[in-house]
Amino acid sequence: MKLGRSPRHSSFYESFSDLMFGTMAIFVLLVIILATQVRPDGVPSQVHQEALDEVARARAITEALQKQVAELEKQGEPKPLELVVAIDGSGSMGAALKTLQFAIGTIGETMPMIASSVHVGIVIYRDAASTAVFPVTKIEREEVDGGRSLALLNQFAQTMVPQPARADLAHAVRSATAMFGPPSGGEPRKRTLMVAGDVGPYEIGDFMNEAGESEIHRVLTEWKRNNSEASVIAVYTGSDQSDEWIVGHRERTLKLFREMAVIGGDASNFSPHDRKLFPLLLKGILG
C-alpha cells in the first residue's frame, strides 16, 4: 500500500493495484513463511516442495497481473465490464464454491473502480429445478449507492453452498449466455463468461449425452460470434482420484472444458485445477 504521500487523487488502476497486489503480497508472504519454516526432515520432501512451488506460482501470478494492469493503464479508460459466472453447485463443490465466494467479493469491490461500469451475474447450476440465479446487476462503487449493490452480490455469494444434486452443464451454459442479453450495438463491452465445475459427460441424464455436448458447442459458438470481445474461462474442478466410472470418463470431460475455452478464443483460459479459479477470472477480466 502507498503510505506517506501527499494527498492526491488516485487513478482507478492505482487503487486496484494497491488493493489487489496488497492481498497477493500477504498471500505470498504466508506461503514463503510456510515454505521456509517447514523443515524437509520434519515432513515428507514432497510437502516441502509443494510449498515452494506455491511460492513460485503466487509470484508468477502477481507479476503477470502487474503487467496486465500496466498495459491497461496505457490504453486509457477501460471498457464496460459484464461478467457471468456459472458454477456447479452439487455436493462435491465445497472448496471451489468457497474460493469463488472470495473471488466474487474481491471483484465486486475492486472492479467498479476500474471499469466505466460493472455488471455481474451468477448461475449456481444443478438440475434445472434447483438452479439458483443472481441476475446480471450493476455493481456500483460504495460512494455511489452506499454499498447496496455490493451487499446484494455478497449476500447471494454466501448462498453458494453445495447441495446433493445432478448438475446440468448444458442448462448452465444456455442460462449463462442468455443473461448477457443481445449483442452490444454501441459502446464496446468486455464480456467474460466463466464455467466451473466437475460435471462432465459421465453424469447420469440426457443432458450430458452427445446431444448435450453438441448443444454446448453450438450455444458458445453463437455467443462468441455475436460478441467478438467476449472470452470464456473454463475450470474443471474434479479430483484426479474419484470413483472408477468418473475416472474412466475424465479425459472426455477435460476435453469438453478445454474446448469451451478454445471457442472463447484463448485456450490458456482452461485449467483442470480449482486453485486457478481466481487467477483465471482476473486474467479473463483484465486481459
Structural domain contains residue 271: yes
- What pLDDT sits at residue 34? 47
Using 50 as the pLDDT threshold, list the residues of the chain that sit under it.
1-13, 15, 19, 26, 29-40
**Shared-domain flag, residues 171 and 265:** yes
**Shared-domain flag, residues 35 and 82:** no
User: Which residues partner with 193 through β-bridges?
Assistant: 84, 232
DSSP secondary structure, 95-118, as one string: HHHHHHHHHHHHHHHHGGGTSS-E
DSSP state of 6: P
CATH number (domain holding residue 179): 3.40.50.410
Q: Which of 74, 102, 122 is the last residue of a domain?
A: 74
Q: pTM of the predicted model, to two decimals?
A: 0.73
- What pLDDT sits at residue 274? 84
- C-beta neighbour count of 30 within 10 angstroms: 13
Q: Which of 31, 50, 74 is the last residue of a domain?
A: 74
**Shared-domain flag, residues 59 and 102:** no
Backbone angles phi, psi at 91, to 5 degrees: -65, -20
Can you give the C-alpha Rg of the chain in angstroms? 20
Range of the domain at 258: 78-286
Q: At what angle do helices 169-178 and 210-226 cross, to 10 degrees?
A: 20
Structural domain contains residue 1: no
Helical (H) or strand (E) element with 234: strand 231-236
What pLDDT digit, counting tens, does each position of 64-75 carry? Answer: 555 655 555 555
Distant-in-sequence, close-in-space partners of 284: CB < 8 Å, separation ≥ 6: 192, 194, 231, 233, 269
Structural domain contains residue 3: no
Q: Which of 74, 101, 126 is the last residue of a domain?
A: 74
- What pLDDT sits at residue 144? 93
**Torsion 59-62-261-158 (CA) sign:** positive
Based on the number of CB atoms within 10 Å of its own CB, is 77 exposed (0-12), middle (13-18) or buried (19 or more)?
Answer: exposed
**Shared-domain flag, residues 49 and 87:** no
**Number of structural domains the chain divides into:** 2
Residue 212's identity, in one-letter code, is: G
User: Can you say whether residue 193 is alpha, beta or left, with left for phi > 0 and alpha for psi between -120 and 50 degrees?
Assistant: beta
Structural domain contains residue 5: no
DSSP secondary structure, 203-218, as one string: SSSGGGSHHHHHHHHH
